[in-house]
Amino acid sequence: MQQFSKEEVLLIARLRDLIRSAGEKNYPRFSHFLDETGIAFARQLLNQQHITQYAFFGGFAGAGRKMLGVCPDYLLPEQLEFPIAVLRFDFSQKVELTHRDVLGSLMSLGVKREMVGDIVVEPKTAYAAVCQEIADWALQNITRIGKAGVTVQLWDGSRVTMEQKYHSIAVSVASLRLDAVVAAVLPASRNAAAELIQAGKVLQNGLPQTQTSRVVSPGDILTVRGKGKFLVGEETGQTRRGRIHLEIKQFV
């Protein structure tokens, strides 16, 4: 039986309440920003309750952290107006800022992590998706990020794209068991991979898994907390001894 952490139990309860209240009160309901695990839990609950009128959106194209929006009967998912604002930070080209710098500046204002979506950093510019309710506060209070002075304005999220970068690696596995694939992609011993799985540190398509024998399929996304995130590709062949060749994309 799958074991959930205290934080996961609370998240599932909040999502269940949100889904129920959208139907009972007959108006759109929105979550805060969800990470991949939160999105996976939300999809499970929606499927279990046969809810089809919903959407996920993160403020701009390619966003990984997203809000869940659940529709009442009179709305279609594409009509949902998500309470998301996109902030644009401009700074000197002589300064290099990181995702951590931008996130730190927001959280230093007392903003919780769930109020901030994805962050895109470019030369001289950075963008952050945030809950609309904190946008004015950020506009009025952020004048510096790290050692850089910045100007902040609201920006059109349709003009921002988050590009996911990755590099491909080829691995050979004895089987498509989760422990075998995790061992190959890290790389690590089979025993070390099993320990990570049993400790709840491996996610398969956003959900924590503790069974080492779970089957991995092409298209699955494996996240090993603290180690990396991997997209499982197609089988590309077998060795004479029956080992399976896989193409893996490691996100960077």
DSSP 17-72: HHHHHHHHHTS-EE---B-HHHHHHHHHHHHHTT--SEEEE-SSBT-SSBEEEE--
Torsion of CA 168, 169, 170, 176, to 10 degrees: -90
With a cut of 50, which residues of the chain have pLDDT below it? 1
For residue 37, the model assigns a pLDDT of 94
For residue 3, the model assigns a pLDDT of 65
For residue 143, the model assigns a pLDDT of 95
